[in-house]
Structure formats: C-alpha cells, structure tokens
Amino acid sequence: MNSSSPDILTLILVSLVPGLLWVAFFYRQDKYEPEPKYLVIRSFTYGAIAVLPAIIVELPFREVTQAGPQNLLRLALVTILVVGVAEESFKLLAVRLAAYENHAFNEVMDGIVYSVSSGLGFAALENLLYASAFGATVGLVRAFVTCLAHASFSGISGYYLGKAKLCPEAAVTLVARGLGIAIVLHGLYDFLIIGRIVPAWSAIFLVAAVYRYLASKVVKAQESSPFRE
C-alpha cells in the first residue's frame, strides 16, 4: 500500500501541475480586470468533469482511433465529427455552467480565461488517465504538449464566447463560429497525429501554430477591453 502511494502522487503531480502552470500563465494575460480566482478554479474543475461525458460519446469509436492510419477517411470523420465535436462542446458547456452567467464575465478576455481553464482541467484529467495506463513519462510529455493544445482550442472558442456575451443578438452565430473553428482545429490535429500523416514530434509545431492563432485573439481581446486605461 505504501509503496504505491508515491506512484499515485507522481501521476497526479505530473498531470495536474503543468495544467495549473498554464492556467496561471493565461490568467496573467487578463491584465486589466483579472477574474475572480474561484470562477477560474470552478471552470478548471468543470472542464475536468467534462472528460466523463466525452469518454462516453467517444467509446463506441475507440476502435477507429486505435487503428490509426488503417482507414484515413473513417479516422478523419471520427476525429473531427466525434472527438472534436464532443470534447470542444463539453469543454465549452463547462464554461457555460461554471462562469458564463456570473457578473464578473464582462469582457471578451474573460471568455478566453474561463475557456482556457476549462480546457486545462479537461487536459489534466485526461493526462492522468493516460499516465495511469502508460506511465508517468507518457503523462509528462502529454502534460506539456496536450495541455497547451486543449488550452488553445478552448481559448479560441472562448474568444467568441466572450464576444457573444457582449453581443447577445449575434450570440448564436458567434458561439457557432468559435466552436466550429475549435472543432476543426482539434479534429485535424488528432487526425494528423493519430493517422501518422506527420511524425509525432511535429505535434509541438502544430500546437505552437494553434497557440499563435490564440495569441492573436488574446491581443484583440486586450485591445477591446473596456477596463483598459
């Protein structure tokens, strides 16, 4: 019993700490009116919970993703229309339930912060499951690359969620646009890696490209902040 405790602790730390570090990084980007920390933590927690329904949706299609490049058309359909749709939708729903209606959600940047936190909570639990199955080393690699990937996908949809909060008459269109972009980017990322279209190490560059796109949205959100002096 005692000998297994350090292993469990290691897995938790490997899965959780990188995600929390990324949360802190993105939280600092909200420099004009930082969000209440309890809402950020709630979004992170709800994002972690979102892993459970995502697993249920994806489970019947696990055979396709495990087969990798054997049937690329089926893989593309599953990674975009099942994995991308399920994971990005549930992560965004987590933000909707955790923070959207709160009065503190009052600028576009808030949508990014809460959505990134949700995505990182999702990534943390997902990485814990992978680390439990394949070991701490796999978990550590995923913790840095996958955390930023989930944060970036969610942050993009969060940017449009923030715009939707401030523009209710166009909310449906804005949310659909952001969610659609996140779904396609997430699905294509998974397809390229799982289908071995590109080497596994190139995931770093793919994630960096998506993050750069999110970073451009962060700049726009900061520039449009009503709390900017």
70-87: per-residue pLDDT in tens?
Answer: 899 999 999 999 999 999
Model-level pTM?
Answer: 0.93
| Identity of the amino acid at 76 | A
Q: Is residue 228 part of a domain?
A: no
State yes or no: pLDDT of 2 exceeds 60: no
Domain annotation covers residue 23 = yes
- Over range 44-70, report the average pLDDT: 95
Domain count, the chain: 1
pLDDT of residue 6: 46
Buried-exposed string 203-221: b where 16+ CB fall within 10 A, e elsewhere: beebbeebbeebeebbeeb
Domain encompassing residue 45? 5-223
Burial 25-54 (b: 16+ CB within 10 A, else e): ebbebbeeebbeeebbebbbbbbbbbbeeb
Residue 138 included in any domain = yes
Asked if the structure places residue 108 within a domain, the reply is yes
Name the least confident of 10-14, 72-76, 122-126, 206-210. Answer: 10-14
